[in-house]
């Protein structure tokens, strides 16, 4: 087994590969130390001084835009939103060297009128590049930006707006209403991806019903989101795309709409997510790198990610890799997290399928306390849902270590679904784990080099 592990490590790309051959968790420390964090001049402006009124009625977006422009043009600083309720009839577009600071007691209520999020901007939607409605908080090719403070950003998504666009009756859609599922909308975007139409020529927006992300820095560097509460997103909550040096710290996400993933870094490098709380309608944290043709063409992995000291409540998965992960994923670390809810489906989840391609490798999880989950504590799945996709580019999944995980209730302890005998999940090592209250045991299909070391299922030592 030592020889096999050595062969895996010899294939590792990236500057951190030598550390992995010694102790992978030293790499996690090195990643955190290498992340460049934003720094701002000691300069600030209050939105009140530029005409904002915290009455929940007046449109305060002009004042906020003016404050951001002023700080940017002066070389950087803090835009302060004092306590009160502020209405915004459109998106916030952050600019370099600006820290948007929401004081405790401040709430930004975003408009739910889609026309307020025009003109279209460059974005990705479920891992596919396109021109779509602006995210509610957006930054394009900016450096040294932040959203901080103890305030609240409320997208006001509900079954009355945004959410019915998903096409599900449970979120307010009814027969005859348009949705993303209609021909030319989500299916049309997927078809353009298959034909490799240039992303900026994929025009969505009005008439296509693709909900915008909540907070999305796009091709940015040195990004910080800290302390704020994010509520009721139209779609994915935090979605950094093609970014480097991202820190998400002490953020509280309460958002139970469709596809309300808590934090979805996509094709980013050097990411720290710590001390956060997730109570979501989809995956709490999902790491992504593009879907099918876009992910493979861009060839940008989600890599060098550290997740620690987070709490996960409701959601489809706690820490998740996939499913839009065609650019690959590597050097992912998650530790010291708590996960517990009858509405949390899985704790640790890797999901992909035969159309994705890509290499998922070097994933490390430790010291995770799991209460109740609805399916499996650890799930590695190469048969995730196909959406009419016909390509056969079977991904590679290898070198996953899970240690010191404790759970109290679940149908399955470990679920591994490799593709077939020629494309198994390789090098999964689970040790020093205890899964109690397991109803159905483990389900293992097509796993090569599986090691279970001091793993107990309902008190009984498990064997591969």
Q: Tens digits of per-residue pLDDT, 168-195?
A: 999 999 999 999 999 999 999 999 999 9
Residue with tokens 């509900």: 158
* String of DSSP letters for 266-308: BS-EEEEEES-EEEESS-SEEEB-B-HHHHHHHT--EEEEEEE
- Where in the sequence numbering do the catalytic residues fall? 282, 316
Residues 15-19 have a mean pLDDT of 47
Q: Would you call 113 exposed, middle or buried from its count of C-beta atoms within 10 A (0-12, 13-18, 19+)?
A: exposed
Residues 127-155 have a mean pLDDT of 98
How would residue 22 be classed by pLDDT, with cut points 50, 70 and 90?
Answer: low
Helices marked H in 331-434: none
Residue 228 near residue 215, CB atoms below 8 Å: no
Q: Is pLDDT at 408 greater than 90 in this prediction?
A: yes
Residue 124 near residue 241, CB atoms below 8 Å: yes
Residue 361's DSSP bridge partners are 330, 398
Tell me, rounded to whole angstroms, the distance of Cα 408 from its chain centroid.
26
Q: Is pLDDT at 401 greater than 70 in this prediction?
A: yes
- What is the distance between the alpha carbons of residues 156 and 410, in angstroms, rounded to a whole number? 33
Residue 53, number of CB atoms within 10 A of its CB: 16
Residue 328 near residue 357, CB atoms below 8 Å: no
Q: Is pLDDT at 97 greater than 70 in this prediction?
A: yes
Q: Is pLDDT at 7 greater than 50 in this prediction?
A: no
Residue 69 near residue 114, CB atoms below 8 Å: no
Residue 207, number of CB atoms within 10 A of its CB: 10
Q: Tens digits of per-residue pLDDT, 29-83?
A: 999 999 999 999 999 999 999 999 999 999 999 999 999 999 999 999 999 999 9
Cis peptide before 145 (omega within 30 of 0): no
Element (H, E) at 34: helix 24-34
Q: Which fold has domain 2-461?
A: Pectate Lyase C-like (2.160.20)
Residues 242-252 have a mean pLDDT of 98
Residues 215-224 have a mean pLDDT of 99
How would residue 463 be classed by pLDDT, with cut points 50, 70 and 90?
Answer: confident
- What is the distance between the alpha carbons of residues 358 and 327, in angstroms, rounded to a whole number? 6
Task: Map out the domains of the chain as residue ranges.
Answer: 2-461
Q: Tens digits of per-residue pLDDT, 304-355?
A: 999 999 999 999 999 999 999 999 999 999 999 999 999 999 999 999 999 9
How large is the C-alpha radius of gyration of the chain? 22
């Amino acid at each position: 087994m030592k020889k096999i592990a050595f062969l895996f490590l010899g294939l590792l790309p990236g500057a951190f590969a030598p550390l992995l051959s010694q102790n992978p968790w030293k790499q996690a420390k090195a990643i955190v130390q290498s992340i460049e964090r934003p720094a701002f001049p000691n300069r600030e402006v209050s939105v009140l001084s530029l005409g904002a009124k915290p009455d929940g009625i007046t449109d305060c977006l002009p004042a906020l835009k003016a404050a951001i422009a002023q700080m940017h043009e002066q070389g950087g600083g803090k835009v302060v939103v004092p306590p009160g309720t502020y209405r915004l009839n459109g998106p916030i577009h952050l600019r370099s060297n600006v820290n948007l600071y929401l004081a405790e007691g401040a709430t930004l209520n975003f408009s739910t009128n889609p026309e307020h999020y025009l003109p279209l901007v460059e974005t990705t939607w479920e891992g596919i590049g396109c021109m779509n409605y602006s995210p509610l908080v957006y930054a394009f090719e900016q450096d040294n930006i932040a959203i901080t403070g103890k305030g609240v950003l409320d997208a006001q998504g509900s079954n009355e707006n945004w959410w019915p666009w998903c096409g599900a009756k449970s979120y307010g859609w009814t027969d005859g209403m348009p949705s993303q599922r209609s021909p030319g909308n989500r299916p049309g975007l997927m078809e353009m991806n298959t034909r490799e139409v240039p992303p900026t020529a994929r025009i969505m927006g009005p008439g296509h019903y693709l909900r915008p992300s909540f907070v999305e820095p796009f091709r940015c560097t040195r990004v910080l989101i800290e302390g704020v509460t994010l509520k009721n997103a139209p779609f994915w909550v935090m979605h950094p795309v093609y970014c480097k040096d991202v820190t998400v710290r002490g953020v509280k996400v309460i958002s139970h709409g469709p596809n309300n993933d808590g934090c979805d870094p996509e094709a980013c490098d050097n990411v720290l997510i710590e001390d956060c709380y997730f109570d979501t309608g989809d995956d709490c944290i999902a790491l992504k790198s593009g879907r099918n043709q876009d992910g493979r063409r861009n060839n940008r992995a989600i890599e060098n990610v550290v997740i620690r000291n987070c709490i996960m409540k409701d959601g489809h998965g706690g820490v998740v890799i996939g499913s839009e992960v065609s650019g690959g994923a590597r050097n992912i670390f998650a530790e010291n997290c708590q996960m517990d809810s009858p509405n949390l489906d899985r704790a640790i989840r890797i999901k992909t399928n035969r159309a994705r391609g890509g290499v998922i490798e070097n994933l490390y999880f430790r010291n995770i306390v799991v209460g109740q989950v609805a399916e499996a504590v650890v799930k590695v799945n190469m048969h995730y849902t196909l959406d009419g996709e016909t390509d056969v580019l079977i991904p590679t999944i290898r070198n996953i270590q899970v240690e010191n995980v404790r759970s109290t209730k679940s149908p399955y302890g470990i679920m591994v679904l490799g593709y077939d005998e020629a494309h198994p999940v390789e090098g999964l090592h689970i040790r020093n784990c205890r899964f109690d209250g397991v109803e159905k045991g483990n389900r293992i299909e097509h796993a090569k080099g599986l090691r279970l070391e001091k793993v107990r299922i309902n008190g009984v030592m498990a064997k591969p």
